[in-house]
Every structure is written in C-alpha cells, then in structure tokens.
Amino acid sequence: METKIFNATTVDQAAALIKAGQLVAFPTETVYGLGADATNVAAVKQVYQAKGRPSDNPLIVHVADVETVERFAKPLSVSAKKLIKAFWPGPLTMIFNLKPNALAPEVTGGLTTAAFRNPNNAATLALIRSAQTPIVGPSANTSGKPSPTLAQHVLHDLDGKIAGILDDGATQVGVESTVLDLSGTQPAILRPGAVTAAQIEAVIGEPVLTEQHHVGATEVPKAPGMKYKHYAPAAQVYIVDHVKDWPAALAWAAKQDVSVGVMATDDVFTTNQLPANCEQFSLGEDVESASRELFAGLRHFDTETEIKDILCQAFENTGLGAAYMNRLNKSAGQTHFSV
C-alpha cells in the first residue's frame, strides 16, 4: 500500500484511516507510535504483523482524556488520580486493572491489566479525538530495532506496510515513557523513562519499586521492553562506562579494519583525537540531549553498512540517566568496552 504523510492540518484524514481499521503512525513527546483502533481486534492484529512483534508483548493504549480510561479500567486509586493530575499529558504510562472483557487479549497480551497513556502532543491528541477511539501505540518501527524519533525513521521501517504517518517533526524526549504498574499492592516501575521514581514518590507519598524491568522466557510481560531484544542496530554496540576510558576505547577502534561509529557528548570529541576510521555522532552536551539523540544515532549508523561496531557513552544510572542506560544496555546486549 501507499504510506501517506499527514500533518497537523490533515489530522482528520489520518483519523479517518484509524476509524477504517488502518494503521497510522503518530508522534508523541517521546517516540513515534504505531496507531490502530484499540477496540478493533483486526486492526490491532495488523500492528503485530507490520512490526513483526511477538503476540505476547502487550500494547500501550493512548487516550485523550481520563474518562476514556475509566470506560475500560476498574475504579482508579487516589494515587492514580494524583499522578494523572501531575503528569498527564506527559511521558508517564500507567498500568491499571481492567473491567472484565474490557479490551481484547490482542491488546493486553491476555492479561487482566492494560497500560494507558495520555501523550503530550497536540497533533496526536487531535488524532485520538477525531478518531473517537483510544489507539494502541507501540513504537513505530520494526520490532527490536531502535525506536523512531522522526517520521523518516518510521518510513524507513514501515513504508508500504502502513496506511499513513502523522508527521510532527522530531520528538522532544527521545526515549519511551516511564511505565508504572499500579495494578498490584505496591507501585513498580516496569520501564524507566523521563518521569523518575523520585518524582512519582513525591506525588504519591509512598515508595516505588524500581528493579522490575525483566521477566522470564515463559512469562507474559505487563509492559513493552521487559522480555524481548530491543533498540538494537545491526552493528555491535559497546558501552564506554567512564570518560577516562575513551582514550583506550578510541585506540582500540583505530586498530579495527572497518569503520567504527562513536556516539558521545561534545566534550569527548573536543578532548580526544578521533581515529581516521571513526565516524562521530554527537549526543549533545548532557544526558538530556543524549536521551533525545540516542535512537537517532543508532539509526544513523544502522544505515551505514560499513559500520560494524559502535562505541557509545554511558551516563550515571539515576534520574533520566536510568532511562537512557536501560535503552543503551538493551541495544548493546549488556556489552561494555573493556581494556
């Protein structure tokens, strides 16, 4: 099929495709999502097919208002209402217990819970309202590949596989939303993101579990990114843990008989001589810019077949750095550069 490009002035046309059971990628403040009517089982099945996504990997449901959540979820707790007031619209996804048979198992992975998010993007909120239905929205990429932060990234992976893309330029955050499980006895972060554990705890006044990011091979994950390989380019990524390690890492790169990609902040490039066989991709000045640019850098080198190895800068595993390191560790398969 032809993949059409829409913008903020043609949102209603994109929404008409959603209503008709088609797939339309949409922008959020984090990454681009792949949208389909969350109440249309046939449309949801197409999402898995287009992405090559495992069927037990549940989908996040994107909504334009709290009332939509209340149609499907059991009564929201006081903590949930406080978090909605504090962080919606924004990069916080929350998992709630569902009313019986509220959503199809294709959305929930067969679970009795579902993840909901109210994205902070005007064009996408207009899309949801115009379509008059909540829309599922996993990242709009081939499953396992780096998430898309530009419409062009979506087109690279899914051109001809989906009906359209709502283009709203580059995303602002660059790593997917925080996923907070509120379906159990204690709140637990299943995927770190821009909304941190400390920020959540400050709102609800109780501790949040933070080391809940993985499930076993036979378990069904409650949230994306907990079970399957994610964010990985074709090249092998090596994490450079400390600034002092860069001279040794670049000396190693210089000895390779192929080109090596280097992803780091500007200070690394200004204080180190880049070998002739290395190509640089700037992560900006700090962890905030690095989080925004991480997937773009991985995708940049994924399009250059001569790049077989990528050296990428680590950050402290706190705050937004926890989200950045979660994605980087998965893209590298936990592989760190060592002297």
Residues at the binding site for ATP are 53, 57, 113, 139, 147, 191, 231
Residues at the binding site for L-threonine are 30, 62, 117, 177
Contact status, residue 310 vs residue 276, Cβ threshold 8 Å: no
Written in H, E and C, the secondary structure of the chain is CCCEEECHHHHHHHHHHHHCCCCEEECCCCCCEEEEECCCHHHHHHHHHHHCCCCCCCCEEECCCHHHHHHHECCCCHHHHHHHHHHCCCCEEEEEEECCCCCCHHHHCCCCEEEEECCCCHHHHHHHHHHCCCEECCECCCCCCCCCCCHHHHHHHHCCCCCEEECCCCCCCCCCCEEEECCCCCCEEEECCCCCHHHHHHHHCCCCECCCCCCCCCCCCCCCCCCCCCCCCCCEEEEECCHHHHHHHHHHHHCCCCEEEEEECHHHHHHCCCCCCEEEEECCCCHHHHHHHHHHHHHHHHCCCCEEEEEEECCCCCCHHHHHHHHHHHHHCCCECCC
φ, ψ for residue 312 (rounded to 5)?
Answer: -135, 140
Beta bridge partners of 73: 98
Residues at the binding site are 30, 53, 57, 62, 113, 117, 139, 147, 177, 191, 231
